[in-house]
Amino acid sequence: MNEEYILQLQHIRKEYSGVIALKDVSLELKKGEILALIGENGAGKSTLIKTCSGAVIPTSGKIIINGREFTSMSPQLAAENGIAIIYQEFNNVKGLSAAENLFLGNPIKKGILVDKKAMEKEAEKAFAQLNIKINPKTLAGDLTVGYQQMVEIAKAIMQDAKVLIMDEPSAPLTSAEVESMFKVCELLKSKGVSIIYISHRLEEIYRLSDRIVVLRDGEYIKTLITKDSHIDELIHLMVGRDLKESYPPRKACIKEDEIVLELRNVCGNGDKDINLKLRKGEVLGLGGLVGAGRTELAQMVFGVVRKTSGKIIFNGKEIDPKTPREAIDCGIALVPEDRKRHGVLLGISVKNNINMPIYNKISRASVINSKKEQENAKKYKDDLLIKTPTLNQLVKNLSGGNQQKVILGKWLAANSELIIFDEPTRGIDVGAKFEIYKLMNDLVEQGKTILLISSEMEELMGMSDRIIVLSEGQITGELKKQEFKQDSIMRLASAVKEVKNEN
Amino acid sequence: MKTNVLNQLKSKAIWVVFALLFIGFALANPRFLSSSNLFTIARQVSMYGIASIGMTFVILIAGIDLSTGSVITIVNIVCAYLMVNSGFSMAAAVICSLLMATLIGVLNGFLVSTIGIPAIIATFATQIVFEGAAYLLSGGTPVYGFDERFKVIGQGYLGPIPVPVIIMICCFAIGAFILNKTYFGRYFYAVGGNEEASKLSGIRVGAVKYLIYALSGLFAGLAGIVMLSRTNSAQPTAGKGYEFDVITCVVLGGVSVSGGYGKISNVVAGVLIIGILTNGMVLLNVSTYMQMVVKGIVLALAVGFDCLQQKRASK
């Protein structure tokens, strides 16, 4: 086989009960190179690297490390063959020192006792090798995020890793920390270590990588030589799918002069200076990558997390919801991203779920008016075509699409005016998706207003009247319907507006 | 259809256990079936029954209230003290001590909901505090000498039925009414099933917790009043260990310790089982220590059964 490559993935395929996560993906990593792996959310990057660590067993395909062939890996095999992954969540124990973390699970012993001194000495050497200054005695919990990451890297190198896979390593770091991480990466590269670097920050990729592999929708798209490629080409490769799905049409229903929601310099929950206006009958899309601060913004409007500054103006009145209850009473509703954990109450009935926000209103002296309860549930079951044998069916027995409709029924029963949809069609089959889209159209045609958060580019472009894109907690741009283009959205989503503040 | 029948059976399983135990004790000792013994059981279980309503609510939201026994004790002491030493009328003393029991519940609610102490620790702390307080107040000696009329609550009869049994039945009815007919009841199930989703559906979860712990205190207090009237003297150890039996009743009655699931009607069965188990073992001359062993095992079995079901469901 080819001597040049330390790691080869050949024709990797992964299916999850009929859903294809990876489709014939191949990748080659040379000795001592930094290979960037890029793609949108859900492109399959994480699944791919997990096949290297043994966390994911491929359905078919080969993994070749230093000429040895494997059909799948296990965490142990990966370690033996010199593959280490630095995840976004560190595997450290906060209450142990940096040195002890370095030797976690494999301490230097003196008889039956742990030899702290020897470990600290070794740790010092390991850190010196990477040109990093960490006192081995410092508790991991007292180190900055950047240094905690360095400890992870040092650990991998100490265990003789030849391939280092880094999953969004720069995401939690300040810009100075990113600089020192880069230095470590380059140092490792010069020592012959190969790195697979996953990041959505394109400018980092241009600074650091030798080659770029692009994935899209679980498929291998292309490999580029970094210095010969251009950022426009890259963005186009990431998002350049043909738009084939059709979206149900809707009547023009935007009331230009009626502002339902206005945010003025809203800060908090990781977001900064958010300004936007939402008109009655409009579907405003919020685009961006996972972690861009869109859900966080929704949480502030819905009273889950309080904003730290700025103004939220709803129907001309300033509001400051401290609890979801207050937001609901104003007329704001949230269809959350994690349907099963945050959206529906799985263990209780369809009827109870739909009435939950208004029980206090359909009760007299705390006693529920069961006729009204039944009527309400029946109305929204019929209006939204919720498929359930009876209203007393437990929600956990319904399909994902019907659960989503129950949530919607709940908010319609509560007479909400503004409905925030956070990834409304995640994990819902195609037929049910289309129904949800139609319902959204019905809602705006009836004078409701929608804020749509979606990571699915097609859905965002197909359903929104206007799109605002966020990146790292800030608005990076706004697009009108006629300006919608996957490339422009992606460019805004990966933009970094300004250097992150130092801690 | 088949699974439906199976589920039906499963929900009635507790009553089958009750019937088997009942028949078993009846065969083992003929005295068990005598009407005087059955009335004794009924009177004994009434206190468990009353206190179990509040505990049912607490466990429904996946909480626990370990202070029940201490609330019973301090209600005994305070109510007796007010009647004997402070010259309160019977009604005033009862109302004041129930109010105090409710406030202890509110305190638990504050510790659990506002401060965020895990329920098991918060109510453990209040248990110790009020057990100590009861000793301090009574000086460690019993308080007695109440009005004859006070005896009616614990010892009286309405026709052939003991008054405490009537109180218990009323309490069960109130409990079932709260759970099934009021919107708070819906909130209890919702919060127990999923706190985060409940919050996002507009439920003020904190307020619900306050209410539940307050009710737990109130029902424990009521059990304390019945006990005081029955024993006719306030002992500083009156309610010691009571929470254990009450928790066992509730869990036996199928209220899930992970929250969100349970019915008052089955808790009735749980209460009756503990009642006849205690009584039957006494009749069979089983030693107190052996009784502890048996009850401990029953609790572990009941919770174990629930946890196994949860585990299977999550697979």
Using one digit for the tens of pLDDT, what is the confidence trace for B67-88?
999 999 999 999 999 999 999 9
In chain A, which residue's Cα lies nearest the Cα of B179?
A367
Confidence at residue A160, expressed as pLDDT on a 0 to 100 scale = 87
pLDDT tens digits, one per residue of B290-305: 999 999 999 999 888 8
Looking at residue A502, what is its pLDDT? 38
Residue for token pair 């250097």: A499
Report, as an integer, the average pLDDT of A61-72: 92
Show Cβ contacts of residue A300 under 8 Å, excluding neighbours closer than 6 positions. A266, A268, A269, A271, A306, A307, A312
| pLDDT value, residue A41 | 76
Query: Angle at the Cα of A332 (from A327 to A338), degrees rounded to 5?
Result: 95
Decide if A285 touches B, using CB distance below 8 A: no
The pLDDT of residue A246: 76
- d(CA A375, CA A88) in angstroms, rounded, equals 49
Contact A362, A369 (CB under 8 A): yes
DSSP label at residue B136: H
Least-confidence region, from B141-155, B163-177, B193-207: B141-155
- Confidence at residue A501, expressed as pLDDT on a 0 to 100 scale: 40
Contact residues on chain A for B255, CB-CB shorter than 8 A: none
> Are A169 and A199 within 8 A, CB to CB?
yes
| CA–CA separation, A226 and A240 (whole Å) | 19
Contact A323 B201 (CB under 8 A): no
Query: Residue A316: phi, psi to the nearest 5?
Result: 85, -5
Task: Read off the pLDDT of residues A404-420 as tens digits, 9 standing for 90 and up.
Answer: 999 999 999 999 999 99
Q: A255-268 and A271-280: which strand pairing?
A: antiparallel
A291 or A490, higher pLDDT: A490
The SS3 assignment for A221 reads: strand
pTM: 0.85
Name the residue type at position A429: D
Structure tokens at A345: 């109450």
pLDDT for the residue numbered A1: 47
pLDDT at residue B8, rounded to an integer: 66
R_g over Cα of chain B: 19
Query: Is the distance from CB of A489 to CB of A469 less than 8 angstroms?
Result: yes
pLDDT tens profile A370-379:
999 999 999 9
In whole angstroms, what is the distance from residue A81 CA to residue A72 CA? 13
Instruction: Assess whether pLDDT exceeds 80 at residue A307.
Output: yes
Mutate to test the interface with A, among B187, B195, B200 (most CBs of A within 10 A): B200
Task: Report the relative pairing of strands A367-368 and A363-364 from DSSP bridges.
Answer: antiparallel
User: In the prediction, which pLDDT does B315 show?
Assistant: 60
> pLDDT per residue over A29-44, tens digit each?
999 999 999 988 778 8
Q: What is the pLDDT of residue A315?
A: 95
**Which residues in A lie closer than 8 A to residue B204 (C-beta atoms)?**
323, 325
Tell me the average pLDDT across A382-393.
93
Higher per-residue pLDDT: A164 or A3: A164
Residues 338-397 of A with CB under 8 A from B: 341-348, 352-353, 355-357, 359-360, 362-363, 366-368, 370
Which has more pLDDT, B245 or A458? B245
> Which of A175, A174, A195 is CA-nearest to residue A184?
A195
> What is the rounded distance in angstroms from the CA atom of residue B25 to the CA atom of residue A34?
78
The yes-or-no verdict on residue A138 having pLDDT over 70 is yes
Q: Which residues of B touch A342 (CB under 8 A)?
A: 196-197, 200
DSSP A107: -
- pLDDT tens, B159-187? 889 999 999 999 999 999 999 999 999 99
CB atoms within 10 A of CB A426: 17
| pLDDT, position A2 | 55
Question: In chain A, what is the greatest distance between 2 CA atoms, to the nearest angstrom?
Answer: 80
Inter-chain CB proximity B200 and A355 less than 8 Å:
no
Distance (Å) of CA B131 to CA B118, B213, B240, B289: 20, 18, 8, 23
Q: Measure CB to CB from residue B190 to each of A325, A356, A363 and give the nearest one.
A: A356
Residue A330's H or E segment, with its range, is: helix A324-330
* pLDDT given for residue A499 in this prediction: 41
Mean model confidence pLDDT for chain A? 90
Q: Which CATH architecture has domain A5-239?
A: 3-Layer(aba) Sandwich (3.40)
Closest by CA position to A485, among listed A198, A221, A232: A232
pLDDT score at B6: 61
Min Cα separation B138/chain A (Å):
40
B chain contacts of residue A355, beta-carbon cutoff 8 Å: 186
- The CA distance from A466 to A482, in Å, is 9
- Indicate the pLDDT class of residue A498, thresholds 50, 70 and 90: very low
Shortest CA distance from A360: residue in chain B: B183
- Mean pLDDT in residue range A85-101: 88
Beta-carbon separation of A343 and B200 below 8 A: yes
SS3 for A359? coil
pLDDT band at A496 (very low <50, low <70, confident <90, very high): low
Instruction: Write out pLDDT tens, residues A447-482.
Output: 999 999 998 888 999 999 999 999 989 999 999 999
Predicted pLDDT at A168: 87
Name the one residue in this structure whose structure tokens are 């086989």.
A1
CATH for A245-331+417-503, options being 3.30.565.10, 3.40.50.300, 3.40.50.2300, 3.40.50.1240: 3.40.50.300
Which pLDDT band, with edges at 50, 70 and 90, does B1 fall under?
very low
A246 class by beta-carbon count within 10 Å (0-12 exposed, 13-18 middle, 19+ buried): exposed
pLDDT value at position B3?
Answer: 56
Using the predicted structure, report yes or no on whether residue B106 has a pLDDT greater than 70. yes
- Are B193 and A344 in contact (CB < 8 Å)? no
Between CA A413 and CA A406 the distance in angstroms is 10
pLDDT for B7: 64
Rounded percentage of chain A residues whose pLDDT exceeds 90: 66
pLDDT beyond 90 at A503? no
Judge: B197–A347 Cβ closer than 8 Å, yes or no.
no
Mean pLDDT, residues A82-89? 87
What pLDDT, on a 0 to 100 scale, did the predictor assign at position A497? 47
* Alpha-carbon gap: B174 to the closest alpha carbon of chain A (Å): 12
> Are the beta carbons of A359 and B186 separated by less than 8 Å?
yes
CA angle A65, A70, A71 (to 5 degrees): 140
CA distance B189 to chain A (A): 8
> Which residue intervals of chain A bear CATH 3.40.50.300?
5-239, 245-331+417-503
Structure tokens at B284: 């069979």
Q: Decide if B104 contacts B67 (C-beta within 8 A).
A: yes
| For residue A433, pLDDT beyond 90 | no
Average pLDDT, chain B: 93
A396 with A349: CB under 8 angstroms? no
